[in-house]
Amino acid sequence: MLHYLIQVVAFQLLFLIGFELFLKKETFFNYNRAYLLITPVLAMLLPLLKIPFLQAAIPAENFVILPEVLIGASSESPVTLNSETPEAVQTINWWLLAYSGGFIFSLGIFFNKFRVLKQLFSHKPVRQNHGIKIVEVPQSKIACTFYKTIFLGAELSEKEREQILSHELVHVEQNHTLDLLLFEFLKIIFWFNPLIYIYQSKISAIHEYIADAGVVKNVKKQDYFQQLLNSAFNTEDISFVNQFFNHSIIKKRIVMLQKNKSRSTSKFKFLIILPLMAVMLTYVSCSSTQAPNKEVTAPETPQPPSTPSSVVVTEGQKNLDPSLPIPFAVVEQIPLFPGCEELKTMEEQKECMTRNINMHVNKNFNVGLGKELGLTGIHRIYVQFKVSKKGEVIEVRSRAPHPDLGAEAERVVNDLPDMEPAIHGGKEVAVLYSLPITFQIAEPEPKEEGNEEDKN
């Protein structure tokens, strides 16, 4: 999940950089609006896509997850991978707690904005036509829109009302409120992502540019500029309401109105989204997003550490549709452990390799290490290693709750014998493996108190 969120934020950042560099100054406001609406959602979907032909186009090492090895457990008390130790029961998920707190806080801010909006709706509409309501707010110069309702302050002059109403009607006709509500929803779910707030700010400015462009078709630009500069600001801070008087973007609105229309050829700049998507899809298709410490129950397999340059091969891939091209990640011949060469089917070869690695680890792992380190309970170790093109076990590394346990696991895996290398496309290829090890360390037996001292 963390890897997914990092990818989403990174992709949204790339899309925003593309907008700032190539599209921000163009007068194709509706195109910019579409870009700002599509790209944040697209950034959330792209990490979920893996394109097979991209996996095949870029050489990737195969990542195979071996079945878990259980050590240190007697046959009378087998290890239960999903059993809860007293230490686990007391563990607090601080990440979930922090997210929940931020979610509740963001939800509270959202409902507070609705409370302010409800106060505006308490005033009766002075006009209603074709589903559009115009509400006059007493003792105010407010000018804003929420969906099909336009709020105008009673202290606005007739000339101000006329121009502002033309402006706000554009917001109503194009349903700009729905855009802002989308980002309000995203701000609640992804409250920790600052880019969502930036997106909302930018699309709010685009809304104003679109509405301004609609107004100046019927009035003189100079009169409209003067209206913007002279108008008072008296609007509640509601981020999902389109506001006419907003000092932070009035200067930008005037500058944008004075710009000449962009050339038609500038529309090709929007094609920047294509290379950006290609880069993102290539990264996603050739990366592994497996969680390194997911709790599972036997006979399922724990997930390995994430490796950006690897593709995970799981048991589900053995039933691929034969009519489809075989992805590079699925090797034609797996590495052969010594003694497994005579077996004919790949399933038998896998079982043979698993059985021999299991026996090797159980035989050579120093199970007394737990007692020496003063450890008890269940400890999970993840070892990653590569069977090279020559069949050698290389690049062994580990992840363990205690460094000495990791070092011992690396030592044992380094002692694995050389194998026959994997074959794909008639060529020898390297294969990455992840070996999960569950080490159960028994509780020390309590010492019995004797009465030896009383005997004399």
Q: What is the pLDDT of residues 191-246, one digit of tens each?
A: 999 999 999 999 999 999 999 998 888 888 777 777 776 654 444 456 666 666 56
Residue 248 pLDDT: 65
CA triplet 292, 294, 296: central angle to 5 degrees? 135
Contact residues for 304 (Cβ-Cβ < 8 A; gap 6+): 63, 65, 288, 290, 292, 312, 382, 384, 434, 436
Residue 136 pLDDT: 92
Residue 317 pLDDT: 38
Q: What is the rounded CA–CA span in Å between residue 192 and residue 100?
A: 11
Residue 325 pLDDT: 37
Q: Is 8 within 8 Å of 47 (Cβ atoms)? A: yes
Residues 303-314: tens digit of each pLDDT: 443 333 333 333
Percentages helix, strand, coil for the chain (3-state, rounded to 5) are 50, 15, 35
Residue 302 pLDDT: 38
**Which segments of the chain have a pLDDT < 70?**
52-63, 73-91, 229-248, 286-330, 444-456
Amino acid residing at 139:
Q
Residues 82-102: tens digit of each pLDDT: 444 444 445 688 889 999 999
Is 258 exposed, middle or buried, given 0-12, 13-18 or 19+ CB atoms closer than 10 A? exposed
Q: C-alpha distances in angstroms, 58 versus 139, 287, 432?
A: 66, 11, 16
Q: Where do the DSSP E strands lie in 111-249?
A: 125-129, 132-137, 143-146, 149-153, 242-243
Q: Label residue 442 left, alpha or beta by phi (over 0 means left) and psi (-120 to 50 means alpha).
A: beta
